Amino acid sequence: QTHTHYTIHHPTFNTYIMEEISQANIEDAAELKFGAEFEDIDILSNAQVAVILQVSARSAVNRDEELHEVYRKTQKYVERYNTMTNKEKNNQELVKELDNLQDVLTTLRKETDVGDELELHGFEVAALMNLVATDTAVEEAVTLIPSLSRFPETVVDEILDLIRTTMIRIVS
């Protein structure tokens, strides 16, 4: 039995493959390394997306438009995993609470023992807002969002308390 090996010598294809390999080496959420397409963007939590989709869906219904299947599936997903919701509050109240929480977490700065200043990445903010329930422990948060390990446990606990407080305010 003979084996034939093929080698592709095409400059465009080889460049494309090398760029893909290079890009794969750059991106790593655990180390907060993301591709260029994720620079200078706001990352939203499931709760924020749920509110946006609810408002948009109501608007579509008012215009007698049908929602696309992907839209409906996305809406179902974010509503299923949205821990920060309260049917008795209007969307403006929820948006205000969620935006305030996101602002507080995004602007939070903590100094390490050696004087370095640490801040949460937008990815971490959204991931924390999606993760946190009233009983989320520091160890669980760090396990699910490994990049948080750069913070002392007391700081992670403080961050979780901020989120819990907002969550309790929203759901009560």
Residue 152 neighbours by CB distance under 10 Å:
14
What does the pLDDT read at residue 81?
76
| Rounded Cα distance, 108 and 15, in Å | 41
Sign of CA dihedral 28, 32, 38, 39: negative
Residue 81's contacts (CB-CB under 8 Å, 6 or more residues apart) are 46, 130
From first to last of the 172 residues of the chain, give the pLDDT tens digit. Answer: 555 544 455 555 555 555 655 555 567 888 888 888 888 888 888 888 888 888 888 888 889 888 889 888 988 888 887 777 777 777 788 888 888 999 999 999 988 778 788 999 999 999 998 887 778 899 999 999 999 999 999 999 999 999 999 888 888 8
What does the pLDDT read at residue 33?
85
Q: How far apart are the first and last CA of the chain?
A: 72
What does the pLDDT read at residue 3?
52
What does the pLDDT read at residue 7?
47
What does the pLDDT read at residue 144?
93
| Rounded Cα distance, 54 and 60, in Å | 10
Pairing state between β 117-119 and 109-111 = antiparallel
| Rounded Cα distance, 149 and 147, in Å | 5
Residue 57 neighbours by CB distance under 10 Å:
15
What does the pLDDT read at residue 23?
53
Beta bridge partners of 149: none
